Protein backbone atom coordinates (compact mmCIF):
# COMPACT_ATOMS: atom_id res chain seq x y z
CA UNK A 1 0.00 0.00 0.00
CA UNK A 2 1.29 3.48 -0.84
CA UNK A 3 2.23 5.73 2.04
CA UNK A 4 1.01 9.30 2.55
CA UNK A 5 -1.72 9.28 -0.13
CA UNK A 6 -4.66 9.91 2.22
CA UNK A 7 -5.35 13.25 3.92
CA UNK A 8 -4.45 13.47 7.58
CA UNK A 9 -6.84 16.26 8.57
CA UNK A 10 -10.02 14.19 9.13
CA UNK A 11 -12.28 15.80 11.69
CA UNK A 12 -15.85 15.44 12.90
CA UNK A 13 -18.35 17.30 10.72
CA UNK A 14 -22.15 17.65 10.85
CA UNK A 15 -23.92 17.00 7.54
CA UNK A 16 -27.39 18.51 7.09
CA UNK A 17 -29.84 17.40 4.40
CA UNK A 18 -31.52 20.64 3.31
CA UNK A 19 -34.55 18.89 1.78
CA UNK A 20 -35.80 17.42 5.07
CA UNK A 21 -33.57 18.82 7.84
CA UNK A 22 -31.97 15.52 8.89
CA UNK A 23 -28.51 15.96 10.42
CA UNK A 24 -25.80 13.40 11.15
CA UNK A 25 -22.27 13.48 12.51
CA UNK A 26 -19.44 11.90 10.56
CA UNK A 27 -15.79 12.48 9.74
CA UNK A 28 -14.65 14.43 6.70
CA UNK A 29 -11.92 16.65 5.25
CA UNK A 30 -14.39 18.90 3.38
CA UNK A 31 -13.84 22.62 3.92
CA UNK A 32 -16.62 24.82 5.29
CA UNK A 33 -16.99 28.12 7.11
CA UNK A 34 -20.30 27.40 8.84
CA UNK A 35 -20.60 25.72 12.23
CA UNK A 36 -23.45 24.20 14.22
CA UNK A 37 -23.91 23.17 17.83
CA UNK A 38 -24.43 19.39 18.07
CA UNK A 39 -26.45 17.41 20.64
CA UNK A 40 -23.36 16.74 22.77
CA UNK A 41 -22.84 20.50 23.31
CA UNK A 42 -19.79 20.77 21.05
CA UNK A 43 -19.60 22.98 17.98
CA UNK A 44 -18.74 21.28 14.67
CA UNK A 45 -18.29 22.44 11.06
CA UNK A 46 -21.52 22.21 9.01
CA UNK A 47 -21.78 20.78 5.48
CA UNK A 48 -25.13 21.34 3.73
CA UNK A 49 -26.34 18.61 1.35
CA UNK A 50 -29.01 18.78 -1.34
CA UNK A 51 -29.83 15.09 -0.97
CA UNK A 52 -28.71 12.28 1.35
CA UNK A 53 -29.75 8.75 2.19
CA UNK A 54 -32.53 10.26 4.36
CA UNK A 55 -34.20 11.86 1.33
CA UNK A 56 -33.04 9.85 -1.70
CA UNK A 57 -35.86 7.78 -3.25
CA UNK A 58 -33.67 4.68 -3.54
CA UNK A 59 -33.11 4.56 0.23
CA UNK A 60 -36.55 5.82 1.34
CA UNK A 61 -38.58 3.66 -1.05
CA UNK A 62 -40.74 6.63 -1.98
CA UNK A 63 -41.02 8.01 -5.46
CA UNK A 64 -40.26 11.70 -5.40
CA UNK A 65 -39.93 14.10 -8.31
CA UNK A 66 -37.38 16.84 -7.83
CA UNK A 67 -37.78 19.62 -10.41
CA UNK A 68 -35.29 22.29 -9.38
CA UNK A 69 -35.32 24.54 -12.42
CA UNK A 70 -38.76 23.96 -13.93
CA UNK A 71 -37.25 21.67 -16.55
CA UNK A 72 -40.46 19.72 -17.07
CA UNK A 73 -42.46 22.89 -17.69
CA UNK A 74 -39.84 24.16 -20.13
CA UNK A 75 -39.96 20.85 -21.98
CA UNK A 76 -43.76 20.92 -22.20
CA UNK A 77 -43.80 24.52 -23.45
CA UNK A 78 -41.18 23.80 -26.08
CA UNK A 79 -42.98 20.81 -27.56
CA UNK A 80 -46.58 21.96 -26.98
CA UNK A 81 -46.49 24.06 -30.16
CA UNK A 82 -45.63 21.13 -32.42
- Does residue 4 sit within a domain? no
Q: What is the pLDDT of residues 5-46, one digit of tens each?
A: 888 889 999 999 887 888 999 999 999 999 999 999 999 999
- The pLDDT value recorded for residue 78 is 77
Nearest to 67 by CA among 23, 19, 21: 19
- Does residue 16 sit within a domain? yes
Domain that residue 43 falls in? 11-80
Domain count, the chain: 1
- Does residue 42 sit within a domain? yes
* pTM, entire model: 0.64
What is the per-residue DSSP string for 48-76? EES--TTT-HHHH-------SS-HHHHHH
Pairing of strands 43-49, 23-28: unpaired
Amino acid sequence: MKKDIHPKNYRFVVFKDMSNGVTFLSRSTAATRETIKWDDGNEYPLIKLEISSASHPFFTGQKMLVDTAGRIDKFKKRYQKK
